[in-house]
Amino acid sequence: MRLVLDPAAFAELREAAEFYEASRNGLGREFLEDVETAFDSIARHPELWRKLSGRFRRCLVHRFPYGIIYAIEDDIVYAAAVMHLRREPGYRERRQR
């Protein structure tokens, strides 16, 4: 399946990577690698992860407190958010494609 990343999710991903890189040199790259691994897993097995409310599912990112919030739409996986797990719940539901 093809994965499409919402522009707001891309911004979240970039901001998180910048935060981790500022915390420790190389940590931002490690975060991006872990997110990329999660994206690959979602694209291969999109129905594997737990359903949230409505049409969304969540895949947890290894080693970091982030989840990828996504929906399956025919042959596309729509990633609505790269969400810090302590952020306001439900904010990603405002992102409709």
Instruction: Note the pLDDT of residue 75.
Output: 92
**Other C-beta atoms within 10 Å of 41: how many?**
15
For domain 2-86, give the fold.
Answer: YaeB-like fold (3.30.2310)
Instruction: Note the pLDDT of residue 88.
Output: 63
| Size of the chain, expressed as the number of residues it contains | 97
pLDDT (tens digit, 0 to 9) for every residue of the chain, 97 residues total?
899 999 999 999 999 999 999 999 999 999 999 999 999 999 999 999 999 888 999 999 999 999 999 999 999 999 999 999 886 655 555 555 5
Delimit the domains of the chain by residue range.
2-86
Positive or negative torsion for Cα 72, 80, 11, 27: negative
The whole-angstrom separation of Cα 52 and Cα 97 is 17
The residues pairing with 17 across neighbouring beta strands, listed in sequence order, are none
> Closest Cα to residue 69, out of 85, 53, 56?
56
At 84, list the tokens.
């810090």
Task: Enumerate residues 6+ apart whose C-beta is below 8 A from 72.
Answer: 1, 46, 47, 55, 57, 78
- Predicted TM-score (pTM) of the model is 0.86
